[in-house]
Amino acid sequence: MIESVRAAFSLPDLRRRITFTVIMLVIYRLIANIPVPGVNLAAWLQFTSQQSGNQVIDFLDLLSGGAVRNFSVMAMGVYPYITASIIMQLLQPIIPQLEELASEGESGRDKINRITYYLSVPLTFLQAIAQVRLIGISIGGGTSDGLATIMPNFGFGAAQLLPTATTLFAMTGGTMFAIWIGNRITEEGIGQGISLIIFGGIISRILPNTARLFAIDDMTARIFTVLAFLTITVATVLVIVVIQEGQRRIPVQYGRRVRGRKVYQGQSTFVPLKVNTAGMIPIIFAQSILTFPPLIANFFVGDMSVEGNFFQNIARTVSGFGNNTLTPESASFYIYWIVYFLFVVGFTFFYTDVMVQQQNLPQTLQRQGGFIPGIRPGKRTADYITAVVRRITLVGALFLGLVAILPGIMALLGNLLRIQGLEQSVLIISGSGLIIVVGVVIDTMRQLEAQLLMRNYEGFIK
């Protein structure tokens, strides 16, 4: 592997691509430390240091590549573009024009990508408003106090209009610049640019989060937490690699074809169906949906210092789902993590079905003269592929569900064993973050591998 690394840097074109990628990521990380105009940065940093387990802030920080912790102009990262991409994928089977574009090959995909970029601009502007409001509600418990503390000039009154527009345009510009950086990395660097930006943000949080383990007062709890972190991280990475790379190979036979005077003998190949086709998209869906009920409930909690009525008590219970107040002693703890697990499993099946339908494998095989041995072409082939996909997706769905609820499992285990802060062992880098990290590393290594093999060098992967 060391020889392969040396060979990679000895090739001028590959060295230029690697250097370009590193420079672009450094530029992104530098801009990610420029705060949004109008933010009270001291108050924001004080809040984030005290609320390290806030589900809303952690979720937004993951998608922004670590920029939310600094409330920077990159605070939305590239996730408006990810949202636009998901919307376009879900609309393709519904809108015939988009389905036709998707079937036109490279030119059609370029047009869909252009539409995705255009859709990202209004989505970015709207999500900037929503994110500022979301953070304000998360801080203030449903009142305006939180937003007034963090963004004192944000609003749509006559006196606040110009500062608000400045903030929104700065956040929109930061997101579009991040998307541009990602596209430049994809075209001129190594790896998938958008994924590498999120990857860089996750990696940048490892050292600060690791320092929290050594801030635990109890020495015994600190040792157990560090050992749990190392064990869980290694085991999780191993399982992620196995699941992400796991695939079911469906054999395909091509019949004998005649072209002009030449007869081409039929050949055998296979169609690889991945165990986890959906990646970490189901976790994003589930977290997005689960953040809304607590935020809506915050408007109805009333004065927490007085005893509430029946509806206020329900609102207070639901409002605790979005922060770090959930403990294994409360029923809300178990309700939250069970619902979270079921949502992830359900969205995995839903998203996988959408992706498989877009590929339209039965029609593609029939058009190319291929067939699955023992299965009739057409509807029988479609039913067979659907049945196989759903069986192997069950494994991927359960895997994603367990990865998503690892913090809850460790919190329950720490409560049973009386080990303080054991749940911190899985908060240094979350399971969903590990899926991104492992996936990006594997994809980037494969691209380096392909570049080396093209130049007759031995690759990284054996």
Q: Name the helix (H) or strand (E) containing 197.
A: helix 193-204
Collapse the DSSP code of 328 into the 3-class scheme (helix H, G, I; strand E, B; otherwise coil) and give the result.
coil
Residue 151: pLDDT over 70: yes
Question: How many C-beta neighbours within 10 Å does residue 208 have?
Answer: 12
pLDDT for res 112 = 85
- Label residue 366 by pLDDT band (50, 70, 90): confident
pLDDT for res 144 = 46
Q: Tell me the per-residue pLDDT of 421-432, one tens digit each, with 9 for 90 and over.
A: 666 666 667 777
Greater confidence (350 vs 370) lies with 350
Q: Tell me what percent of the chain is helix, strand and coil, each rounded to the nearest 5.
A: 70, 5, 25
pLDDT for res 23 = 92
Q: What is the DSSP string of 408-453?
A: HHHHHHHHHHT-TTGGGGGTSS-HHHHHHHHHHHHHHHHHHHHHHH
Q: What is the DSSP string of 366-414?
A: HHTTEE-TTS-TTHHHHHHHHHHHHHHHHHHHHHHHHHHTHHHHHHHHH
Considering the entire predicted model, what is its pTM?
Answer: 0.74
Mean pLDDT, to the nearest integer, of 21-35? 87
Q: Determine what percent of the chain is predicted with pLDDT higher than 70.
A: 78
pLDDT for res 256 = 65
Residue 262: pLDDT over 50: yes
pLDDT for res 198 = 79
Domains of the chain: 1-205+436-462 (1.10.3370.10), 219-428 (1.10.3370.10)
Residue 145: pLDDT over 60: no
Residue 156: pLDDT over 60: yes
Give CA–CA dist 319/290, Å, rounded.
11
Residue 140: pLDDT over 60: no
Q: Tell me the per-residue pLDDT of 61-83, one tens digit each, with 9 for 90 and over.
A: 766 666 777 788 888 877 788 77
